[in-house]
Amino acid sequence: MPTYFRHSVGTSMNSVHRKHNEAMLPFCSSLRPKLWPIIAGIFSALALLLLALTQYQRQQLIEQQTMAISENAKVTQQLLGKLFFDQLAHLENTTRLLATQDYLQQFASLKAGHERNLMQRQIESMWIRQTEGWEKFLQVRFIDLSGNEVIRINYDPKADRSSVAERLQFKGTRPYFLNAAMLGNSEVGLSIFDLEQEHNDYVKPYLIAARFVTPVVNANGVRSGYLVVNLNIAELLSEFRHHQSMTGLELDILSTSGHYIYTAQPELSFGHILPERAHWSLAQMNPELWHAITTKAHSGHFSGTDLHAAFSPLTILPDANTKVDQHEFILLTRFDDAVVMQAIQSSLDQINNKSLIALFVLFGLSVWIATWVQKAWTQKNAKRLMLHAANGMAAAIMTDANRQIIAINQMFTALLGYKADEVLGKKPVMFRSGLQSADSISAMKNQLMSAGHWRGELTYRAKSGQILTTMQEITAIYWNSRSKTPDYYIASFVDISAQKKLEQQLRVQSVTDSLTGAFNRRRFDDEFERLLQNSLRYPNSTFTLALVDLDHFKQINDSYGHDTGDSVLIEFVSLVSQVLRNTDFMGRIGGEEFGILLPFTDAEGAHIVMERIRETIENNMTSPAVTCSIGLVQHADQLCVKDIYQAADTALYLAKTTGRNKTIVHQMMTAVQQSQCR
Decide if 548 contacts 613 (C-beta within 8 A). yes
* Peptide bond connecting 624 to the previous residue in cis, omega within 30 degrees of 0: yes
Boundary-marking domain end, from 470, 502, 534: 502
Q: How far apart are alpha carbons 333 and 354 in whole angstroms?
A: 35
Single-letter amino acid, residue 446:
N
Residue 31 has pLDDT above 60, yes or no: no
Q: Which domain holds residue 310?
A: 32-366
Q: Could you tell me if 423 and 362 lie in one domain?
A: no
Q: Could you tell me if 37 and 185 lie in one domain?
A: yes
pTM of the full structure: 0.45
Q: How far apart are alpha carbons 254 and 311 in whole angstroms?
A: 10
Q: Could you tell me if 195 and 304 lie in one domain?
A: yes
Q: Could you tell me if 359 and 446 lie in one domain?
A: no
How confident is the model over 467-483, as a mean pLDDT? 75
Categorize the per-residue pLDDT at 20 as very low, low, confident or very high, splitting at 50, 70 and 90.
Answer: very low
- Residues 6 or more apart whose CB falls under 8 angstroms from that of 488 comprise 31, 385, 398, 399, 400, 401, 406, 476, 477, 479
Residue 10 has pLDDT above 70, yes or no: no
Predicted pLDDT at 112: 85
Boundary-marking domain end, from 502, 526, 551: 502
In the chain, the N- to C-terminal Cα span, in Å, equals: 39
Categorize the per-residue pLDDT at 76 as very low, low, confident or very high, splitting at 50, 70 and 90.
Answer: confident
Single-letter amino acid, residue 630:
I
How confident is the model over 548-553, as a mean pLDDT? 94
How confident is the model over 181-194, as a mean pLDDT? 89
Least confidently predicted of 327-341, 506-520, 533-547: 506-520
Decide if 396 contacts 412 (C-beta within 8 A). yes
Predicted pLDDT at 1: 43
pLDDT digits (tens, 9 = 90+) for 268-325: 888 888 889 888 888 898 899 898 888 887 788 888 888 888 998 888 877 788 888 7
Q: Which residue, 312, 328, 192, 196, is CA-closest to 252?
A: 312
Residue 549 has pLDDT above 90, yes or no: yes
Q: What is the CATH number of the domain that holds 561?
A: 3.30.70.270
Residue 353 forms part of a structural domain: yes
Count up the domains in the chain and report the number: 3
Predicted pLDDT at 604: 92
Q: Could you tell me if 345 and 405 lie in one domain?
A: no
Residue 507 forms part of a structural domain: no
Decide if 277 contacts 271 (C-beta within 8 A). yes
Residue 123 has pLDDT above 70, yes or no: yes
Q: Give me the percent of the chain exceeding a pLDDT of 90.
A: 26
Longest dimension (CA), the chain: 123
Please, where are the H alpha helices in 279-437? 282-285, 287-295, 337-343, 345-386, 410-416, 420-423
Residue 425 forms part of a structural domain: yes
Residue 381 forms part of a structural domain: no
Categorize the per-residue pLDDT at 327 as very low, low, confident or very high, splitting at 50, 70 and 90.
Answer: confident
Decide if 227 contacts 78 (C-beta within 8 A). no
Average pLDDT, the chain: 82
Q: Could you tell me if 526 and 489 lie in one domain?
A: no
Q: How far apart are alpha carbons 246 and 76 in whole angstroms?
A: 12
Q: Compute and round to an integer the Cα radius of gyration of the chain.
A: 45
Categorize the per-residue pLDDT at 153 as very low, low, confident or very high, splitting at 50, 70 and 90.
Answer: very high
Residue 559 forms part of a structural domain: yes
Give just the sign of the alpha carbon dihedral 15, 21, 26, 29. positive
Q: Could you tell me if 453 and 572 lie in one domain?
A: no
How confident is the model over 72-101, as a mean pLDDT? 87
Residue 66's Cα: distance from chain center in Å? Answer: 37
Predicted pLDDT at 536: 81
Q: Looking at the DSSP assignment, which residues form a beta bridge with residue 251?
A: 333
Residue 310 forms part of a structural domain: yes
Single-letter amino acid, residue 12:
S
Compute the half-sphere exposure of residue 606: CA atoms within 13 Å on the CB side of its CA. Answer: 30
Q: Could you tell me if 452 and 404 lie in one domain?
A: yes
Is 166 one of the annotated active-site residues of the chain?
A: no
- Residues 6 or more apart whose CB falls under 8 angstroms from that of 525 comprise 641
Q: Which residue, 377, 437, 381, 375, is CA-closest to 407?
A: 381
Residue 375 forms part of a structural domain: no
Categorize the per-residue pLDDT at 139 as very low, low, confident or very high, splitting at 50, 70 and 90.
Answer: very high
Predicted pLDDT at 553: 92
Predicted pLDDT at 410: 80
Q: Could you tell me if 243 and 96 lie in one domain?
A: yes
Boundary-marking domain end, from 333, 351, 366: 366
Residue 41 has pLDDT above 80, yes or no: no
Decide if 275 contacts 285 (C-beta within 8 A). no
Predicted pLDDT at 567: 92
pLDDT digits (tens, 9 = 90+) for 159-171: 999 999 989 999 9
Q: Could you tell me if 176 and 94 lie in one domain?
A: yes
Q: Could you tell me if 183 and 117 lie in one domain?
A: yes
Residue 8 has pLDDT above 80, yes or no: no
* Peptide bond connecting 205 to the previous residue in cis, omega within 30 degrees of 0: yes
Compute the half-sphere exposure of residue 542: CA atoms within 13 Å on the CB side of its CA. Answer: 14
DSSP secondary structure letters along 27-76:
GGGGGPPPSHHHHHHHHHHHHHHHHHHHHHHHHHHHHHHHHHHHHHHHHH
Query: Exactly one of 92, 124, 187, 592 is catalytic; which is it?
Result: 592
Strand pairing report for 663-666 and 628-634: parallel
Q: How far apart are alpha carbons 330 and 311 in whole angstroms?
A: 7
pLDDT digits (tens, 9 = 90+) for 405-416: 888 888 888 888
Helix, strand and coil percent figures for the chain, each rounded to 5: 50, 25, 30
- Residues 6 or more apart whose CB falls under 8 angstroms from that of 204 comprise none
Q: How far apart are alpha carbons 637 and 532 in whole angstroms?
A: 9
Q: Could you tell me if 560 and 636 lie in one domain?
A: yes
pLDDT digits (tens, 9 = 90+) for 349-389: 888 888 888 778 876 777 777 767 765 565 456 445 544 45
CA dihedral 569→575→581→583, nearest 10 degrees, is 20
Residue 561 has pLDDT above 60, yes or no: yes
Q: What is the CATH number of the domain that holds 51?
A: 3.30.450.20
H or E stretch at 572: helix 562-579
Phi, psi of 332 (to 5 degrees): -130, 125
Predicted pLDDT at 135: 85
Decide if 266 contacts 256 (C-beta within 8 A). no
Q: Which residue, 503, 510, 673, 526, is CA-closest to 585?
A: 526
Residue 396 has pLDDT above 60, yes or no: yes
Residue 378 forms part of a structural domain: no
